[in-house]
Each structure stands twice: as structure tokens, then as C-alpha cells.
Amino acid sequence: RRACTRFEDITEPELVDLAALLRLLLAALYRYKDDPAYNVWWETAPTEHAGQAVPADVFRWTLHIKVAIGSVTGFGLASGVELAGTLPEDTAHAMRAAIEEELAEPLTEELGLA
């Protein structure tokens, strides 16, 4: 595991590890939320050619997975704050269980895709 400012600076082995982790998390999410709509994106520092130097000790690239949770409310539209129907610790517990299930029996095998 290595801290890295820009996504494009990760090594091939790190990319392989990231792909395996992303596959595991998305399969667990599929199990937990019954194939929900989601977006995946990453935040990365500007490239060297952008002319904006970002000190390596203050920024790390970050991968985000955002699940669509219900409909947006008036409060959410006005404030930019989305309300979740479950506590974060309950969601974390359910995702851990879904990850354990995925590790025990991969979804690709369960669906006959292996």
C-alpha cells in the first residue's frame, strides 16, 4: 500500500489490486442492495502539465462509490445534504456481511459466469 497524489501514477500491480477490490465491493453492493444504481469516480490531483503544483503530503487520490438512495427530497435539493434511511454503522455491518458472503461464494460462480 502506497500513498499517491495522482491516480495515473499508480503502478500496474496497484491497478490490479484496485480492480480486485473494486470488483469485490461492487459484488457485495449488488448483494446488499439488490443491484442498485451507482456511480464510481475518483478525485486526483492536477497533472504536472496543468501548472498547479499540489504538495504530495496534503492530497491523496480517492475513489468514490455513490449509491442512488431513494428520491431526492426538497430538503436535499435546497441544502445539498442527502438523507439516508439507515445509520452508517448499520450499513457498514450489512456491507461487511455482504463482503464475507462474496468471499465465500463469488457472485460470478453463483450466477454461472465463472
Per-residue pLDDT, 70: 66
pLDDT, residue 76, reads: 73
pTM of the model: 0.77
User: Could you list the mean pLDDT of each consecutive 10-residue stretch along the chain, which spans 114 residues?
Assistant: 85 94 95 90 79 72 84 73 83 95 88 71
Q: What pLDDT is attached to residue 72?
A: 66
Residue-range domains of the chain with CATH: 7-108 (3.30.428.10)
Which three cell numbers, joined as nine digits, stand for 74? Answer: 426538497
Give the pLDDT score at 22: 95
